[in-house]
């Protein structure tokens, strides 16, 4: 019975990862209907792991369920919501980076550095997909918050649902190299227990990230305003 439960969990995890990649990579567009039966056939799995995966994605605010309609991908972030998310991130993450520099345990730092190295290796080899980069980036930021040792910050950060929502705006993978360099600067400051430097490096990273994403917003709005070419 234990093996059956583990197998179901493993299948659910695989379905979740595939759906998440489709959402991040734009294969499933914001607002698009997600039919459980269609996904089940496409992935050649039962509907149970599909439903379990959609529940996880709903908790992460990447899909939504409406009565009598079913699941669909959540809409694009509005410009107002975008600015609100970054207001919150600027309040929380630089401060937490400083705390992490002062409080982190050795194992936590090595885990964070390991994540950063995996991202760089995957990026430089060309084997890291855009969706995988987005997930790894979110995991790294969660680990940085976790290194504060304050569970409340981790809970607050989780409720923002910021990372994967924001990554849905970007399609230019060339920006990822900039993010990798910014991560390295944050980690270097944390490694040397330079709280002020870690705070400054995180602020610089968020500032650059906001600038990149604003450009994506502008392009997205221009694309949607273009007149239809259909006759």
DSSP assignments along 79-143, one per residue? HHHHHHHHHHHHHHHHHHHHHHHHH--HHHHHHHHHHHHHHHHHHHHT---HHHHHHHHHHHHHH
Q: What pLDDT does residue 171 have?
A: 58
Which structural domain range is residue 176 located in? 79-224
Beta bridge mates, 34: 71
- pLDDT, average across residues 76-104: 92
Integer Cα distance of 181 and 184 in angstroms: 5
DSSP 3-state of 69: coil
Q: Tell me, what CATH number does 210's domain have?
A: 1.20.120.530
Q: What confidence tier does 108 reach under pLDDT thresholds 50, 70, 90?
A: very high
Give 17-44 as a DSSP string.
HHHHHHHHHTSS-TT-EE-HHHHHHHHT
Among the candidates 14, 40, 73, a domain finishes at 73
pLDDT above 80 for 148: yes
**Quick count: other Cβ atoms within 10 Å of Cβ 111?**
17
Residues 16 and 110 in one domain: no
Report pTM.
0.79
Q: Is the pLDDT of residue 204 over 70?
A: yes
**pLDDT score at 46:** 94
Q: What is the pLDDT of residue 185?
A: 98
pLDDT band at 173 (very low <50, low <70, confident <90, very high): low
Lowest mean pLDDT of 36-45, 84-93, 119-128, 157-166, name the range. 157-166
- Give percent of the chain above pLDDT 70: 84
Strand, helix or coil at 189?
helix
Could you tell me which residues are beta bridge partners of residue 65?
Answer: 71
CA quadruple 164, 169, 171, 172: dihedral sign? negative
Strands 63-66 and 33-34: unpaired
Mean pLDDT calculated for residue range 84-100: 95
Q: Flag whether pLDDT at 226 surpasses 60.
A: no
SS3 state of residue 73: strand
Question: 76 or 16, which is more confident?
Answer: 16
Cβ atoms < 10 Å from Cβ of 23: 26
Looking at the fold, whether 63 and 83 belong to one and the same domain comes out as no
> Is residue 185 domain-shared with residue 105, that is, in the same domain?
yes
Quick one: tokens of 216? 């994506």
Domain end call among 73, 98, 130: 73
- DSSP character at residue 76: P
Give the total number of structural domains in the chain.
Answer: 2
The mean pLDDT of the chain is 86
Q: Are 33 and 105 within one domain?
A: no
Q: Which of 73, 88, 121 is the last residue of a domain?
A: 73
Q: pLDDT by residue (tens digit) across 17-69?
A: 899 888 887 889 889 999 999 999 999 999 999 999 999 999 888 899 998 88
Query: What percent of the chain is helix, strand and coil (3-state, nearest 5)?
Result: 75, 5, 20
């Amino acid at each position: 019975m234990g093996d059956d439960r583990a197998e179901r969990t493993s299948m659910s995890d695989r379905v979740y990862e595939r759906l998440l990649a489709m959402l991040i990579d734009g294969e499933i567009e914001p607002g698009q209907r997600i039919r459980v039966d269609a996904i089940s056939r496409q992935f050649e799995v039962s509907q149970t792991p599909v439903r379990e995966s959609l529940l996880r994605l709903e908790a992460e605010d990447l899909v939504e369920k409406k009565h009598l309609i079913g699941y669909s991908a959540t809409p694009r972030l509005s410009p107002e919501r975008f600015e609100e998310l970054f207001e919150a991130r600027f309040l929380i993450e630089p401060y937490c980076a400083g705390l992490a520099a002062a409080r982190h345990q050795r194992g936590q730092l090595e885990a964070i550095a390991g994540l950063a190295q995996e991202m760089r290796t995957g990026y430089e080899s060309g084997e890291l997909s855009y969706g995988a980069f987005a997930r790894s980036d979110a995991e790294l930021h969660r680990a940085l918050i976790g290194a504060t040792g304050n569970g409340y910050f981790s809970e607050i950060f989780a409720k923002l649902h910021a990372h994967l929502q924001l990554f849905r705006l970007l399609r230019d993978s060339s920006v990822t190299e900039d993010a990798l360099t910014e991560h390295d600067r944050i980690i270097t400051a944390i490694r040397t227990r330079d709280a002020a430097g870690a705070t400054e490096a995180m602020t610089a990273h968020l500032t650059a990230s906001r600038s990149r994403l604003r450009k994506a917003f502008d392009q997205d709005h221009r694309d949607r305003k273009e007149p239809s070419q259909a006759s």
